[in-house]
Amino acid sequence: MALQNKKSLGQNWLKNRDILLDIADLASVDGVSDVVEIGPGLGTLTSALFQFFDKVTAIEIDERLAANLPKSFPGKDLTVINQDILSLDLESLNLPEKYVVAGNIPYYITSPIIQKFLHAEHSPVKIVLLMQKEVAERLVAGPGDYSVLGLSAQIYAKVTAGPVVKREFFTPPPKVDSQVVVFEPLAKPLATERTISLIKLGFTAPRKKLVTNLAVTTHLPKDKIAQLFEAQNISIDARPADLSIEDWCELEKNLKSI
Ligand code: SAM
């Protein structure tokens, strides 16, 4: 297709059939026939998704691409919606109870896409996204490497890393490598919104000691916070990246007692 790609929309095409089939396979769930694809572009992942799903609802912001896509899938159950994924009202899609989300997503909106689907009232059973490798690493990180991004995803879903896709597989090649991340939303979040607010306060200065950050941001006495850390077996020197989700939940409850 002689269409100029738009860099501002993250248009780096992935055409390797084996990789695309691996991504579609990771997205498949027994008994689930509907997938929402974010940013279908030229339809290469769409084609792989049709190997595992009966119905694809593809959301594409670029009018030219959205208009061309149906021509590549005659006879297939494909609905193309020419809209920004972030402003899309999911309820308007009339999705069945169980559906999956997949996409080789535009990297400039990775975080809002994840938040949109993890917080959706009618959330998908699985979300499989190809994204910048560095972001994928933050999402699946454990103790010592936690971030607000990683914790806020892991509170809502089981998050696992999929295959790495080297930059040279894309046309044009982006500046960084990519990696698949699989999110399986949990029936119930592991922490409350109040705990998430506390995590954000704790990470205001990520490299500094957490006890100092919390004293500054909560205006509570530092020695009292230090006592709570001791009671919870958290090192007084701990950085925000060291605490588990359980630590944060307990801390949120205990801080109320000061
Ligand atoms: N799925 C194709 C592939 O694997 O080759 C294209 C992936 S390309 C990295 C990202 C796609 O997302 C492009 O087609 C781009 O036009 C589309 N896109 C960018 N921003 C978007 C948005 N806000 N909402 C929906 N689609 C968007």
Mean pLDDT, each 10-residue run in order, the chain (258 residues): 76 96 98 98 98 98 97 98 97 96 95 97 97 98 97 98 98 96 97 97 96 96 97 97 98 93
The CATH architecture of the domain made up of 193-255 is Orthogonal Bundle (1.10)
Question: What is the distance in A from the centroid of ligand 1 to the CA of 42?
Answer: 9
What pLDDT, on the 0 to 100 scale, is given for residue 2? 53
What single string gives the DSSP state of each residue in 6-40?
A: -GGGT--EE--HHHHHHHHHHH--TT--EEEEE--
What pLDDT, on the 0 to 100 scale, is given for residue 249? 98
Question: In the chain, what are the domain boundaries?
Answer: 8-185, 193-255
Q: Is 42 helix (H, G, I), strand (E, B) or coil?
A: coil
Question: What is the distance in A from the centroid of ligand 1 to the CA of 11?
Answer: 6
Question: How do the residues of the chain divide into helix, strand and coil, expressed in percent and rounded to 5?
Answer: 40, 20, 40
Question: What is the distance in A from the centroid of ligand 1 to the CA of 155?
Answer: 27
In this prediction the pTM is 0.95
Ligand 1 pocket mutation pick from 6, 11, 44 by most atoms within 8 angstroms of CB: 11
What pLDDT, on the 0 to 100 scale, is given for residue 83? 98
Q: Does the structural domain 8-185 have CATH classification 3.40.50.150?
A: yes
Asked if 24 and 49 count as a contact pair (C-beta separation under 8 A), the reply is yes
What pLDDT, on the 0 to 100 scale, is given for residue 7? 86
> What is the rounded CA–CA span in Å between residue 41 and residue 202?
39
Residue identifier of the C-alpha nearest atom 12 of ligand 1: 39
What pLDDT, on the 0 to 100 scale, is given for residue 3? 64
Residue identifier of the C-alpha nearest atom 23 of ligand 1: 84
Give residue ranges with CB within 6 A of ligand 1: 9-14, 38-42, 44-45, 59-62, 65, 84-86, 104, 106, 109
Question: What is the distance in A from the centroid of ligand 1 to the CA of 38?
Answer: 7
What pLDDT, on the 0 to 100 scale, is given for residue 137? 98
